[in-house]
Amino acid sequence: MKILKIDHLGIAVKSIEDARKLYEEGLGLHFEGTETVAEQKVTTAFFPVGDSEVELLESTADNGPVAKFIERRGEGIHHIAFRVENIEEALKELKVQGVKLIDEKPRMGAGGAKIAFLHPKATFGVLIELCERD
């Protein structure tokens, strides 16, 4: 598998509108607008940072994965996303190596990316996302 770069850092927040002020006005990053991924019960907001991005995640439902994360661990870093050249190939390789996966097949994430999560039990406490996009 070929990892190209850190694509983005996912940060769980209770309110994108509240957090946006810090990233936009405080840190001077460009706010690219929000996108809701209904299937994951999450609204995302992307802020490009050099060759990577910060992704703010706000839950759209009390029982969504991001809401549950905040309940357990509070707001903060939720996942790290590596951009790969070929996500299907990467998942196949990890499976052969016996790495536990949440997604054995890629699904659609924000911005038209193909994404898949590794199981946190296999990643030493850091949720890892693989993503492939053009």
Residues binding Zn ion (CB under 5 A): 10, 55, 81, 129
Residue nearest Zn ion, Cβ-based: 10
Least separation, in Å, of the C-beta of 65 and Zn ion?
A: 12
User: d(Cα 102, Cα 93) in Å, to the nearest integer?
Assistant: 15
Nearest approach in angstroms of CB 131 to Zn ion is: 7
3-class DSSP state of 90: helix
- Least Å distance between CB 8 and Zn ion? 6
Name the residue nearer to Zn ion (CB basis): 55 or 132: 55
Choice between 50 and 98, CB closer to Zn ion: 50
Burial 121-130 (b: 16+ CB within 10 A, else e): eeeeeebbbb
Name the minimum Å distance from CB 18 to Zn ion: 20
Closer residue to Zn ion, CB minimum distance, 81 or 116: 81
Three-class DSSP category at 18: helix
**Residue 9 or 122 having the CB closest to Zn ion:** 9
In whole angstroms, what is the distance from residue 113 CA to residue 103 CA? 14
